[in-house]
Amino acid sequence: MTADRPYDIVLFGATGFAGGLTAEYLAGHADPGTRWALAGRNQATLTEVRDRVAAVNPACADLPLLHADTADTASIEEIAGAARVVITTVGPYAQHGEPLVAACARAGTDYVDLAGEPTFIDRMYLKYHEEATRSGARIVHACGFDSIPADLGVYFTVKQLPEDVPLHVEGFLRVHGDVSGGTLHSAIGIFADVPGMMSAERERRRVEGRPAGRRVRISRRPAPKTRVGDGWTLPLPVLDPQIVARSAAALDRYGPDFCYGHYLAVRRLAGAVGLAAGAGALFTLAQLPPARALLLRFRAPGEGPSAERRARNWFSLTFAGEGGGRRVVTEVAGGDPGYTETARMLGESALCLAHDDLPETAGQVTTAAAMGDALIDRLVKAGLTFRVLDAG
Ligand SMILES: NC(=O)c1ccc[n+]([C@@H]2O[C@H](COP(=O)([O-])OP(=O)(O)OC[C@H]3O[C@@H](n4cnc5c(N)ncnc54)[C@H](OP(=O)(O)O)[C@@H]3O)[C@@H](O)[C@H]2O)c1
């Protein structure tokens, strides 16, 4: 039991860009009585973050500050043992993430992060899923823009469709956003090790197996015409469809034969061509060490978009779902995807694990399987949109 631990939530990485926004979010929105603390490797910058947070909510002026450095295993074990839920924004996760996942799996501590790195997530599954299942820890990766809108959006869509029939869902993302230094460094790390990503995915498939008596697929067919408005679509090879498929494998409600396709939607053909060329160039440059070093200089860790820029950013993810003779169109939408909304989604995920009445789960689990309706309720109250556009 973790109820008698000193903190409900410890936030590790508060001195970074996404971590600082998450600290401000918790200061303004944590459920009354939540016992929480900030953790990091640098006491002086942690104190500055606490001052910022106290400007949002003066009651946070005495927030405890805990020392934790991923290079010091004992300090990581200490925060995992002191909290019911640990939030980490210490990335790139492939570089810094493993010690905390290991410590939480061992201590039975719930864990949420912002990892959009498939290799890291698959490796953590292979190494710690069983131990976390035994200890009761819920290890929930991708609790930001990667992959909550897709995961909970598909969950929401499936619930509008009939039960026990084959279901087909497609998601079309429209987005206007920016990247921080931490996101750039993590993305280049993914592009630079595609063979590592494929081998971790293969190994995971071998160990995990398929859901008994049901079929779950990610659509590999060429990008369809957008079925939810005008424009062009591109395949979007990000983490989201894998997370959706894991939720579908975990939850019978997704039916006996579930298929999901994930696409980027753009209004003009020139936009589609430009994006495809840009992604191809970035991928190619990331393979060459000198070009990779240059790319990494584009944005340093700790840097991110200003509040003014974030206020202009937005996203919408529209889903077309069909099955059992019904068709539905739904939407998840919000403001600045990568940071303002990500801090909100991450903060609410931790609060949900700490305070809500949830289905019994353990091990590496998705947001839909671990939190589902309770997290959607929280996000809607916090200002995100989940709605049915067309009920067929
Ligand atoms: N999934 C999504 O939608 C999403 C959205 C936003 C961000 N992200 C991910 O979130 C992560 C953080 O992004 P960011 O922009 O906030 O990065 P960032 O500003 O560079 O922050 C990194 C944080 O990690 C800390 N850190 C680094 N090495 C450490 C160590 N050895 N021990 C303890 N702390 C250490 C840094 O502490 P110091 O201040 O002491 O250096 C800082 O607090 C990235 O992996 C990014 O890809 C994902």
CA-proximal residue: ligand 1, atom 31 (nearest): 70
Ligand 1 pocket member 3 (CB < 6 A) = no
Q: Over 70: is that where the pLDDT of 71 sits?
A: yes
- pLDDT tens-digit series, residues 314-363: 999 999 999 999 999 999 999 999 999 999 999 999 999 999 999 999 99
161: which 2 tokens?
Answer: 């469709």
Ligand 1 pocket member 43 (CB < 6 A) = no
State the average pLDDT over residues 63-78.
97
**Cα dihedral 281→284→285→289 (10° resolution):** 180
Calculate the alpha carbon distances from 64 to 47, 82, 262, 354 in Å: 10, 12, 42, 18
Domain boundaries, the chain: 2-144+342-373, 148-336+385-391
What does the DSSP 8-state code read for residue 225? P
Ligand 1 pocket member 17 (CB < 6 A) = yes
Predicted local confidence at residue 298, as pLDDT:
78
Predicted local confidence at residue 179, as pLDDT:
84
* Torsion sign across C-alpha atoms 232, 235, 238, 242: positive
- pLDDT tens-digit series, residues 100-140: 999 999 999 999 999 999 999 999 999 999 999 999 999 99
- pLDDT tens-digit series, residues 228-263: 677 788 888 889 999 999 999 999 999 999 999 999
State the average pLDDT over residues 47-52.
96
Calculate the alpha carbon distances from 193 to 118, 188, 286, 289 in Å: 11, 9, 9, 12
- pLDDT tens-digit series, residues 196-219: 999 999 999 999 988 989 999 999
Q: Over 80: is that where the pLDDT of 225 sits?
A: no
Q: Rounded to the nearest whole angstrom, what is the distance from the C-alpha of residue 115 to the centroid of ligand 1?
A: 10
The pTM score is 0.96
- The CATH number corresponding to 2-144+342-373 among 2.170.270.10, 3.40.190.10, 3.30.420.10, 3.40.50.720 equals 3.40.50.720
Q: Over 90: is that where the pLDDT of 276 sits?
A: no
Ligand 1 pocket member 241 (CB < 6 A) = no
Calculate the alpha carbon distances from 128 to 108, 299, 313, 350 in Å: 11, 32, 36, 20
What does the DSSP 8-state code read for residue 224? P
Ligand 1 mutation target, pool 90, 179, 297, most atoms within 8 A of CB: 90
Predicted local confidence at residue 226, as pLDDT:
66
Q: What is the DSSP pairing of strand 110-113 with strand 36-40?
A: unpaired
Better-predicted residue by pLDDT, 141 or 300? 141
Alpha helices by DSSP H, listed for 192-339, are 194-208, 240-250, 269-286, 289-296, 307-312
Q: Is 211 exposed, middle or buried (0-12, 13-18, 19+ CB in 10 A)?
A: middle
